[in-house]
């Protein structure tokens, strides 16, 4: 990751790549690294994109992606104000609830289990995004 960051900084200094300038005089963001993943972030321009992205991705044995995509289970580039992007959360809760059999648990046991699941599964998404009103209701 350090080598990739070094070469990316050299490419930016030479004017071959432009990162994305964060607002309010924030830093320039050019990549995000986590474990063995690298996400390159650049200013939208003809110089940064075109066929060059596909060619370089192929050379690195990588794949050029498109938006939206999932990263660490979080949708990137999706409009999270739309209920359709919350479908994975809704289906996970539904799948979990449908597996429980009413005859094996008391009412209090089912209530405790439901509160636990309904509170924990969507909490990751809800810590990052504001859920649409339609979804909450």
In the block, residue with structure tokens 């990263």: 71
If asked whether residues 21 and 58 sit together in one domain, one would say yes
**75 lies in a domain?**
no
* Domains in the chain, number: 2
Distance of alpha carbon 6 from the chain centroid: 25
If asked whether residues 100 and 59 sit together in one domain, one would say no
If asked whether residues 60 and 96 sit together in one domain, one would say no
- The burial class, CB within 10 Å (0-12 / 13-18 / 19+), for 99 is exposed
If asked whether residues 59 and 17 sit together in one domain, one would say yes
Query: Does residue 100 carry a pLDDT above 80?
Result: no
- Calculate helix-pair angle for 107-120, 87-98, nearest 10 degrees: 160
**73 lies in a domain?**
no
Whole-angstrom Cα distance, residue 68 to residue 77?
5
**Contact predicate 31/8, CB 8 Å:** yes
Of 7-11, 29-33, 34-38, the range with the lowest mean pLDDT is 34-38
Per-residue confidence (pLDDT) for residue 116, from 0 to 100: 79
Please give the residue range of the domain that contains residue 98.
83-136
Whole-angstrom Cα distance, residue 20 to residue 43?
5
**91 lies in a domain?**
yes
**76 lies in a domain?**
no
Query: Does residue 44 carry a pLDDT above 80?
Result: no
- As a whole-number percent, the residues of the chain with pLDDT over 70 amount to 92
Query: Does residue 27 carry a pLDDT above 70?
Result: yes
If asked whether residues 15 and 61 sit together in one domain, one would say yes
Query: Does residue 36 carry a pLDDT above 70?
Result: yes
Whole-angstrom Cα distance, residue 6 to residue 4?
5
**71 lies in a domain?**
no
């Amino acid at each position: 990751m350090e080598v990739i960051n070094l070469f990316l900084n050299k490419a930016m200094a030479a004017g071959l790549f432009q990162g994305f300038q964060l607002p309010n005089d924030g830093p320039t963001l050019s990549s995000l690294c986590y474990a063995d993943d690298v996400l390159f972030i650049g200013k939208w321009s003809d110089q940064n994109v075109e066929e060059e992205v596909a060619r370089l991705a192929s050379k690195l044995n990588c794949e050029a992606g498109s938006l939206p995509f999932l990263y660490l289970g979080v949708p990137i580039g999706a409009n999270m104000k739309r209920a359709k992007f919350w479908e994975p959360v809704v289906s996970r809760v539904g799948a979990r609830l449908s597996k429980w059999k009413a005859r094996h648990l008391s009412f209090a046991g089912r209530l405790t289990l439901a509160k636990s699941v309904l509170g924990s599964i969507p909490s990751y998404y809800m810590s990052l995004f504001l859920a649409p009103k339609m979804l909450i209701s």
